Amino acid sequence: MEATAASAKRPGWPGVAGGVLAALGIGLSAWAAHGLDDPHARGNLQTAALYALVHGVALAALAPAALRALGRVALGALLAGVLLFSGSLAGNALAGWPTRPAPAGGMLMMLGWLLWAVHRARR
């Protein structure tokens, strides 16, 4: 009974963030397909949408399995990474922002996936 009460108190931020990211991915994809004429901007926005959608679904699906701190850190790295990566690409396509944060976001996503692998290997 205590395990159920503890899991009910655990914040569901990865799942919530995943759902929001997936929805944003769909919206960004639609905008890229119908709202942009510039091929470079369209490509950046489609890439941002793809990474947001894929990582959103991953966060939502993996959230219940993040039982230990390492799992939550891994999902936090995935979220931060996709926000930096997709955010900078979308910002570039829609507002001309620089894409300098994209490599850091990509590295954070890779780190998040590696941490997730360690988390699951240690269960």
Per residue in 34-79, pLDDT (tens digit) is: 999 999 999 999 999 999 999 999 999 999 999 899 999 999 999 9
Q: What's the whole-number mean pLDDT along residues 23-30?
A: 97
pLDDT band at 10 (very low <50, low <70, confident <90, very high): low
CA distance linking residue 110 with residue 10, whole number of Å? 25
Instruction: State pTM to two decimals.
Output: 0.88
Q: DSSP E strands: which ranges in 20-59? A: none
Does pLDDT of 7 surpass 60? no
Q: How many residues does the chain have?
A: 123
Q: Is 4 exposed, middle or buried (0-12, 13-18, 19+ CB in 10 A)?
A: exposed
Q: What's the whole-number mean pLDDT along residues 5-22?
A: 78
